[in-house]
Amino acid sequence: MAVVAIPVGWLSDKVISKGYLTTTVARRVFMGIGCVLPAAGLVWLSYSGCNFPLVTAALCFAVGSNAFVYAGFYVRRNRRLRIK
């Protein structure tokens, strides 16, 4: 998750700073993605059977995509604490 959290945090900050999304919309989008993708990864995990590489990939996808939640949760906090 730490490997994915850094680029996702950068992406959320870039989307807000470029003006593509407001802070509220970006927060909602990243929280939504962060809730749906891990659930999809766990469904994928349940259907992967005993194939070890597939199970590992599905679990890494589910845990790694959970980083979108942190990008959505900390967007407002980081924007408020930013020092210019």
State CA 25 to chain mean position distance: 15
Neighbour-count burial for 39-75, b at 16+ CB within 10 Å, e otherwise: eebeebbeebeeeeeeeeebeebbebbbbbbbbbebb
What is the predicted pLDDT for the residue at 82? 55
CB 31 within 8 A of CB 73: yes
- Give yes or no for a contact between 5 and 67, defined as CB atoms under 8 angstroms apart: yes
Phi, psi torsion values for 60, nearest 5 degrees? -65, -40
Segments in the chain below pLDDT 70:
75-84
Confidence (pTM): 0.79
Every domain of the chain and the residues it spans = 2-81
